[in-house]
Structure 1
């Protein structure tokens, strides 16, 4: 079948903003920050926990359609299938933050996790007194990603995320505490599973007309929401009743060691069923799907407590659907979860659902972004030797610029070829900040925040986000690990802050050494330094770890997608790891 590649729009570039403005026009209780594409509640009860979500556009009504009383406080929207940048996310936090706290909920995609996580860390660095009032939750509910396949990156976030929004939002509206709301959101995220299926991929407006990915008699199981391929294809297309049986087995299996993510037991399981239109299905088909899914669950001995169906999280106009199951707890706790699900929100994207067990099936206003001011009470720390600090930063930048051709050569083999230029761009921008005095040994915390901002804005990509999170977390550590309010950064403060920064970084990436990524030398450096306080020894350990990546199997990062035999033949080090080595060697010189 052909891919639908024609769209109704003004221009591809204006489509997202046009759509958000239409949403707020239709729902006057919502406001839009047009600069940062943040939809938020105009009138919000700031005595209640705020929930923020977001991600790439193209999944409507997710995410902005779930902003409303009893659900989300704000949604931050990127371009189609592209995560919003940290500045946008931070603006969203600023619009709804309060003394009760903020919970940021993201689907498990690298861009979303890094950019939303970076925004949280930057916010905490600028407002350390509020750091414990901002919580972060990653949802991964896709059972098509096996445990082996997702060992590092985890499962993708799909329509099950909507149930997290709904239940957590209802508890927040009832006045639940930050910990209580976060805990229920976390619990739901751990007891929900989703499987998607499509007749064809979707077309992104503004791109060339696509060709058919599937034959006329084929369907693909395990589809993501960004045109990612599934884990298997079926041909011919089976009857809906047979297809649904297979999908339910994928989600509920207790014997598939690779995909038994949710602790189903078998007969007697109490579940909530969510039937989600991925964008291109007719309501006629959705109705038939609800019937078959409900019947299939009841045939398996499950008790279906609630059915929610409709267009909730799409992949633009993909002709397909997903099935989500939430396994309810035992006893009275199930009643609490169901009652939270039954609470009616004032969110345009939430679909009406009967608040009863199903029967047996039969044949506004724009707000401008302002530059964040330095947090009141932020302690100004200076380096032991400010001039030496500045010279070390300068040496590291020049070393990265000089090493760019070699890092690019490595990345042409082990990645997508842009690592050298990304690091060079970052280094050149840091030099400009150094020359302007915004990076200086006289203000180490401010320098770390400035470097974080450079990595975010000038480097971009995964490496830029990783560097930005690390330096933002380092700025936090220098303040929080300084109980005596010293004005000079001591070696022990550097060590403790580097350790806490690495711990923060590990919150947002599953890469752990040995993984053939930049965390290999970074971890070696921080761990060695914290063990013996010997800077030269720590730099050597980092260099050895970077060199060792040439013999490692890639477990994370772009190299994970490169043919392993080629990496073994070329014996090229990981370019990101080599960049860390280059920086540390320059600091030691």
Structure 2
């Protein structure tokens, strides 16, 4: 098959903002912060919990198309298939925050989790009195990613995320508390499964036209929404009445050790399983074909002994113009579940049926299926990570030594850049050394400007977190920013009075690592920067010198570890074993710590 590589646009660079402005013209209740690509409700009820979502563009109507009364309060949009940065997300939180609190919902992709998580932690660090009013939920519903493959990174977030938006948004619109909205959001996220299938991959505007990925006779099962490959291909393309049962088997299985994610009771159960079915157009499937898919999916579920309570069909979360579709099942609660805090099925269905004034939400019948025979462009406002008047000012025990230690670490990173770059050319994508150098150089400038000072360690740490985000970017920048944002929170929460001593730093570093663990599944030994960080925290009781030596040893030991997460997870394992190259990110942490010790 040929890949469509022609598009209707002004320029590839302006396409996202042009599209968002068009959305706001379509829906006058929306406003747009064009500089940060944030679409939000212009007039919102501050007494109701706000819902924020977002991610890369190219999945329309997700995410901005669901902003409106009854679903989302704000959506933060990145470039095509690229996560928005934390500055954009912080702006979204600012535009949506209210008296009741916010729930941030993200699909399980590394960039989204890190950047949205970083924004939440920076917000908490800058506004400690509001930290408990920002909740975070990650949605991973792709059953094509097996349990072994996704042991570290988890399942990808797909179209089932839209059902999470709708049900949580309806409950928030009814005036529920933050804890109630957060609880139901987590519950729905735990009960959805999605499987995608495509005839071909899609083309990203502004990129070179590639060769066809699939032959005319092939179909691919398990495709993601960013052109990620699936888990198997079929040839020739089977008819729907043969294809749909294979897809449903992925969703309904209770015996597959890799893909039995949902607690279905099975066909022979006395109490039938009840589900909501979502048939989602990935962008390039005609309505004519989609109707046939709905028919076969509903029939297939009936044949499997599953009772369908609602059917939704349409374009909810696309992969640009991919010729494909996905099936999502939301497994409704059963009286036999006997799990505390489980909502009733009637409650879930009523929330799903509540009206929603958004262009992305499609019509639904609100009943079981029949048998089978003015826009406002906001002004740009800075949302940089800067200390606020609400943060606690804590001096260093020795302010001049504090600054000298920071400068030593930055200089060491700059000097080590060629070696880290060499490592990353083998074990990653080659940019780790330059990324760390850029961050170190920017921190030195902050020291020279006086923004980083030994008389306010909390403000200095927040400033370093901001530098990591703005100047480093990407996964490394998000990881460092989350860690330093957590460090700032730890310093404030653990502080009593007086200067920051070794005990306070130790407890704050421990707290920061736990915050980092909230947003990455990497655990030692993992061949990532968490290896030396975890070793440092584990040995802090022996003193800083001993802890740094343990961290350095852990960084060196990454040369003999199998890659479970991070940049090296995509590098062929035999080459890593032959070259014995330590993880570049871990080596950067080692460099920083040894310079601090010096």
TM-score when normalising by structure 1: 0.98
Contact 2:51 2:104 in 1 (8 A): yes
Matched position secondary structure for 2:377: coil
Alpha-carbon deviations, 1:554-588, whole Å to 9, x = none?
10001011111111111111110000000000011
- Residue matched to 1:282: 286
- Residue matched to 1:133: 133
How many angstroms does 1:374 deviate by? 4.1
Alpha-carbon deviations, 1:478-531, whole Å to 9, x = none?
11112x3x14112111111111111100000000000000000011112211x3
Distance in 2 between residues matched to 1:389 and 1:558, nearest whole Å: 32
Alpha-carbon deviations, 1:187-210, whole Å to 9, x = none?
111110000000000000000112
Contact 2:62 2:318 in 1 (8 A): yes
Is it true that 1:504 corresponds to 2:515 in the alignment? yes
After TM superposition, the structure 1 = structure 2 runs for residues 207-286 of structure 1, keeping only pairs within 5 Å, are: 207-267=207-267, 268-286=272-290
- Residue matched to 1:584: 593
Contact 1:91 1:369 in 2 (8 A): no
How many angstroms does 1:439 deviate by? 1.0
How many angstroms does 1:342 deviate by? 0.6
- Residue matched to 1:446: 459
Is it true that 1:426 corresponds to 2:426 in the alignment? no
Contact 1:379 1:487 in 2 (8 A): no
Distance in 2 between residues matched to 1:296 and 1:23, nearest whole Å: 36
Matched position secondary structure for 1:251: helix
- Residue matched to 2:417: 404
What number of residue pairs does the alignment pair up?
584
How many angstroms does 1:440 deviate by? 1.4
Is it true that 1:566 corresponds to 2:570 in the alignment? no
- Residue matched to 1:514: 525
Matched position secondary structure for 2:210: coil
Contact 2:193 2:262 in 1 (8 A): yes
Alpha-carbon deviations, 1:134-189, whole Å to 9, x = none?
00000000000000000000000000000000000000001111111111110111
- Residue matched to 1:575: 584
Is it true that 1:557 corresponds to 2:566 in the alignment? yes
After TM superposition, the structure 1 = structure 2 runs for residues 112-511 of structure 1, keeping only pairs within 5 Å, are: 112-267=112-267, 268-331=272-335, 333-362=344-373, 364-372=375-383, 374-482=387-495, 484=496, 486-511=497-522
Distance in 2 between residues matched to 1:411 and 1:548, nearest whole Å: 16
Distance in 1 between residues matched to 2:245 and 2:96, nearest whole Å: 43
Q: Tell me the C-alpha RMSD between the 2 structures.
A: 0.9
Distance in 1 between residues matched to 2:63 and 2:475, nearest whole Å: 23
Distance in 2 between residues matched to 1:541 and 1:583, nearest whole Å: 14
Distance in 1 between residues matched to 2:290 and 2:10, nearest whole Å: 30
- Residue matched to 2:338: none
Alpha-carbon deviations, 1:279-328, whole Å to 9, x = none?
00000000000000000000111000000000000000000000000000
Distance in 2 between residues matched to 1:398 and 1:376, nearest whole Å: 31
- Residue matched to 2:339: none
How many angstroms does 1:376 deviate by? 3.4
Matched position secondary structure for 1:366: strand
- Residue matched to 2:11: 11
- After superposition, the Cα gap between the structure-2 partners of 1:572 and 1:190, relative to the gap in structure 1 and judged at 3 Å, is same
- Residue matched to 2:77: 77
How many angstroms does 1:443 deviate by? 1.2
Runs of 4+ residues deviating >6 angstroms: none
Matched position secondary structure for 2:148: coil
How many angstroms does 1:211 deviate by? 1.5
* Higher alpha-carbon deviation: 166-175 or 374-383: 374-383
TM-score when normalising by structure 2: 0.97
Contact 2:487 2:512 in 1 (8 A): yes
Distance in 1 between residues matched to 2:136 and 2:200, nearest whole Å: 34
Is it true that 1:541 corresponds to 2:550 in the alignment? yes
Contact 1:196 1:320 in 2 (8 A): yes
Alpha-carbon deviations, 1:380-411, whole Å to 9, x = none?
11110010111111110111111111111111
Contact 1:380 1:487 in 2 (8 A): no
Contact 1:550 1:572 in 2 (8 A): yes
Matched position secondary structure for 1:40: strand
Distance in 2 between residues matched to 1:45 and 1:481, nearest whole Å: 35
Alpha-carbon deviations, 1:105-149, whole Å to 9, x = none?
000000000000001011111100000000000000000000000
Distance in 1 between residues matched to 2:581 and 2:62, nearest whole Å: 42
Uncovered stretches (5+) of structure 2, i.e. residues with no partner = 336-342
Distance in 2 between residues matched to 1:507 and 1:374, nearest whole Å: 23
How many angstroms does 1:366 deviate by? 1.9
How many angstroms does 1:23 deviate by? 0.5
Contact 1:107 1:138 in 2 (8 A): yes
Distance in 2 between residues matched to 1:4 and 1:377, nearest whole Å: 52
- Residue matched to 2:58: 58
